[in-house]
Amino acid sequence: MVRRKLTALALLLGIAAGTAHAQPLPEEGADIHQGVASCATSVCHGKVSADPESNVWLNEYRVWLRQDYHSRAYRTLQTAQSQAIADKLGLPSAQGAKICLDCHADNVPADSRGRRFQISDGVGCEACHGGGGRWLESHAETTTSHADNIAQGMYPTEDPMARARLCLSCHLGTRDKFATHEIMGAGHPRLAFELETFTVNQPAHYEADADYRERKPYIASVNMWLAGLAVTGMHTLELLQEEWFTQPSLVPELSFFQCHACHHPMDDLRWSQEPDRLPPGTARLNDASLVLLLAVLETLSPGDVAGLRSDLNALHQASLQSRERVVSAARALHARLEPLVDQLSKGEYGPEQQRQLRRELLAQSAAERFRHFTAAEQAFLAVETLSLSLGDAERLKPRLDALYASVEDENRFVPQQFAVLARQLMGAL
């Protein structure tokens, strides 16, 4: 299970999100990556503490270096655990392997690396903010706007959809870098991601205060959560259409499936008939983000649910038939979701709607609709986000903690127990 949120997000305002989905990811752009050293001097982002005179903190480097897991991502490749993974995969070393560096560092090609670039910086500033080649000099001038920076290749991290794509490029993977079941089998942790929780859990090196909002939109936690869910669902369906999933081999790429469908003790019989009517003993595609999206749409856009549900069932049925059918079913569901996605992340959700969303998620949890661990995990994180946003997380703490305890250890997850605890939480609302 992923860590829970560390802090509560209190404010809930409307949003006006930008539109920059087509922006290439930092790793894809042609801009030179100048290296963390170019950002970290004491006149730039390397101050000891936040500068009250400046609109940005200017101690971002310190926060990143001392508190942010991204600054240790390269060092992680030098640990015994990483070496053991590399040994099992037949790689000479983890810190020398492209597949590991692609997610644990800013592994851009040699001709995109500036003079001060160091691979050992791990996931540095430009791995998220984009190569600084064209904006490093100009972005510090008072006359430069954020739009100017974006035009010069800065990545729009403030936009929820673009941010989701960025984080997921490493926290789920892309067609070019992916934590396959072979890598998992060698001992890599399962990748779990939820945009709002991970945004909060990444130690903040910025604050969405008044002057921030003059420059950038403020995104409410509910919108961040929905953007993440939508992009994860779409991205999963895109990955399912990739060539390496369709390659013929006796066993397909297993990391697309529910890990715990296979990885649980044999005397713990947990199969039961689900709406898609997959027979016992089927390896089930991991549809966590999609079933959560369906639950959300049940409240926000009920007219779309029947069609989506039937497309999702078709995807599961296709997984029993052939890879070609999986690809076309994934494409069909993707096409049906696409028009809804932007809308979801940009909507304004008042307290009443948030309560309805939470109630629906808990009702579906109680009805054992999230029987698979990855879905239950997402359902918990969603309920927590909504409770923090609604301001009653403190009052509900004992029940929220109990629900969390049931998903904390994926190896001890019992679907029926999760359902009972969800019902109890619903009773306490």
Residues of this chain, 12-31, that bind ligand HEC according to CB under 6 A? none
355 binds ligand HEC (CB under 6 A): no
Give the DSSP letter of residue 407.
Answer: H
Which stretches within 108-263 are classed as H helix? 125-129, 146-151, 160-171, 181-185, 195-201, 210-215, 221-239, 243-246, 259-262
The interface with ligand HEC within residues 108-147 (CB under 6 A) comprises 123-125, 127-129
Among 42, 81, 138, 247, binds ligand HEC (CB under 6 A): 81
Give the DSSP letter of residue 25.
Answer: P
85 binds ligand HEC (CB under 6 A): yes
- Describe the crossing of helices 373-390 and 288-300 by its angle, rounded to 10 degrees: 40
Name the residue type at position 315.
L
> Is there a contact between 233 and 293 (Cβ–Cβ < 8 Å)?
yes
316 binds ligand HEC (CB under 6 A): no
Task: Look at phi and psi of residue 187 and say left if phi exceeds 0, alpha if psi is from -120 to 50, else beta.
Answer: left
Among 185, 275, 351, 427, binds ligand HEC (CB under 6 A): 185
CA dihedral 354, 357, 361, 362 (to 10 degrees): 60
254 binds ligand HEC (CB under 6 A): yes
60 binds ligand HEC (CB under 6 A): yes
> Is there a contact between 134 and 212 (Cβ–Cβ < 8 Å)?
no
69 binds ligand HEC (CB under 6 A): yes
Binding range to ligand HEC, per CB under 6 A, among 73-81, 131-139, 297-305, 416-424: 73-81
- Nearest distance in Å: CB 272, ligand HEC: 18
- Nearest distance in Å: CB 243, ligand HEC: 17
- The rounded distance, in Å, linking the Cα atoms of 292 and 289 is 5
33 binds ligand HEC (CB under 6 A): no
220 binds ligand HEC (CB under 6 A): no
What distance, in Å, lies between the first and last C-alpha atoms of the chain? 25
Task: Look at phi and psi of residue 55 and say left if phi exceeds 0, alpha if psi is from -120 to 50, else beta.
Answer: alpha
Binding range to ligand HEC, per CB under 6 A, among 97-105, 137-145, 334-342, 394-402: 97-105
4 binds ligand HEC (CB under 6 A): no
> Is there a contact between 106 and 27 (Cβ–Cβ < 8 Å)?
yes
Closest CB to ligand HEC among residues 206, 423:
206
157 binds ligand HEC (CB under 6 A): yes
- Nearest distance in Å: CB 215, ligand HEC: 6
User: Helix or strand or coil: residue 323?
Assistant: helix
Among 15, 103, 294, 344, binds ligand HEC (CB under 6 A): 103
The interface with ligand HEC within residues 267-296 (CB under 6 A) comprises 283
Among 15, 259, 326, 329, binds ligand HEC (CB under 6 A): 259
For residue 385, which of 226, 232, 236 has the smallest C-alpha distance? 226
Binding range to ligand HEC, per CB under 6 A, among 171-179, 270-278, 386-394, 397-405: 171-179
